[in-house]
Amino acid sequence: MRNLVAAVFRIEHPASPQAIDGLLSLLADWLADRPDLHRMFGLWIRATLMCPAEYRIVLPQIDDLQELNVMLAERLEEWAHAYKAEGEALALQKLLRRRFGSIPAEVLQETSSASVEQIDIWLDQVLDAGSLEEIFGPTTP
């Protein structure tokens, strides 16, 4: 069943950014035989996603649902990677505090901006290291 009104409402009030991705796929399929509506929905969705909201998404000038769907999928993948790095950095910082106490600002900055791969290396070292210096080298006081 094609319920464009329900899809529009869900895009305006998404449960999550991932929910928007699924809705765009449905709309692209539903409107495949209506290029006029396809373009109109593409323009409207882009404007809707750019509005201030909990899940604001900045997109380039795209008015095609298929292109919007691809762009959104790429953004969601970028966000997932960034959130994973942020989560691992917070977990590493928590382990470091429990193991070594206070953490210097330089170490906090370094862990916050590190890649997931680097954080994984540090996580492997936390339990065996005798000090922060063994993991990160000397820091300035």
My answer on whether 84 and 74 are in the same domain is: no
Q: Which tops the pLDDT comparison, 49 or 116?
A: 116
Per-residue model confidence as pLDDT tens digits over 39-74: 777 777 776 666 555 555 555 666 666 777 777 777
Which pLDDT score is estimated for 70? Answer: 74
Q: Answer yes or no: is 141 within a domain.
A: no
Range of the domain at 107: 80-136
The mean pLDDT value for 82-100 works out to 91
Q: Answer yes or no: is 32 within a domain.
A: yes
Rounded to an integer, what distance in angstroms lies between the CA atom of residue 53 and that of residue 2?
26
| 141 pLDDT above the threshold of 60 | no
My answer on whether 91 and 113 are in the same domain is: yes
Please, which residues have CB within 8 angstroms of residue 96's CB and are 6 or more apart in sequence? 103, 107, 111, 126, 132, 135
Rounded to an integer, what distance in angstroms lies between the CA atom of residue 73 and that of residue 17?
10
Cβ neighbourhood burial of 99 (10 Å; 0-12, 13-18, 19+): middle
Of 39, 45, 95, 100, nearest to 72 (Cα)?
45
Per-residue model confidence as pLDDT tens digits over 27-38: 888 888 888 777
0.85 exceeded by the pTM? no
My answer on whether 16 and 67 are in the same domain is: yes
Of 9, 8, 11, nearest to 20 (Cα)?
11
Tally of domains within the chain: 2
Cβ-contact 72, 24 below 8 angstroms: yes
